[in-house]
Amino acid sequence: LPTPPARLPYVPHVSHMALPGKVTATTFALERPCCVFDGHADASDAVWLAVAFANASATFRNPRSRADVPPYQQLPTAHSYMTLETAAAAYSCLAASPPVLRVGSDTACRDQGRQDPCNGPLPSPGPYRVKFLLMGCRGPKAETLWSDPILLRRAVSPSTIDPAPARHGSDVVVIASILASLGAALATAVLGALGAKVWGSVCHRDLGTDAFALRSYQTHHIPPALHRPPPRGCGCSP
């Protein structure tokens, strides 16, 4: 019987880095394991990523050779596949490699004629579990633990999008325009009323001055003084 692979105490996980599109409807960014396989890998060994639906990870069986690797095209029926075949040296402590692995990024894998290990888009939100498997010429040599369930984003169907917010936005614009017009009209009316009041005050003050002037110069209405007879005992004698 083949020797069981060594169990490594590493748990794969989605990257903690702030990345755009870290988890999408068909992909996720996995942190690249570093220094995990040192001491177990030879120069000719390769590291694979096993991907399985979360409820099927317990029944996953490691392949005995590269020829037995489950391909991406069998995911709908086998509920698991292996991908991202990489030289073990790329995961060593001294390797200068990108910090993340994008799972599900190869859209060309949808071609059913391809038989090479593909990293195709994930067909559903999952959830999924993943683990890394170190394989040599004689089969699996070491493996990590399975990850926690990874749930992808759900795509929104265009038929479920409510167009009401757009209509509400138009209504808000119309209402805002009406309120702005009413505000302008009210401001005009207030300014007009204030102007009329000020003008009336000025006119009233002018009219009051003219009336006083007219009353002051109406002396010709005073009746003339009556002729009084001279007092008795005064005047010339006949």
The most confident of 90-94, 96-100, 116-120, 182-186, by mean pLDDT = 90-94
Contact criterion met (CB below 8 Å) for 40 and 141:
yes
Tell me which residue of 190, 152, 159 sits closest to 28, measured CA to CA: 152
Would you give the DSSP letter of residue 150?
Answer: B
What SS3 class is residue 39?
A: coil
* Between 93 and 144, the higher pLDDT residue: 144
Specify the pLDDT at position 2.
72
Q: Residue 71 above 80 pLDDT?
A: yes
Ranges 20-29, 42-51, 85-94, 165-174: which has the least confidence: 165-174
Calpha distance 176→91 (Å, rounded) = 60
Average pLDDT of the segment spanning 21-42 = 94
Query: Average pLDDT of the chain?
Result: 78
Average pLDDT of the segment spanning 227-232 = 49
Q: Where are the alpha helices (DSSP H) in 12-108?
A: 75-78
Q: Residue 47 above 50 pLDDT?
A: yes
The CATH number of domain 6-154 is 3.30.1480: no
For residue 211, give Cα distances in angstroms to 198, 222, 223.
Answer: 20, 18, 22
Judge residue 185's burial from the number of C-beta atoms within 10 Å of its C-beta, 0-12 exposed, 13-18 middle, 19 or more buried: exposed
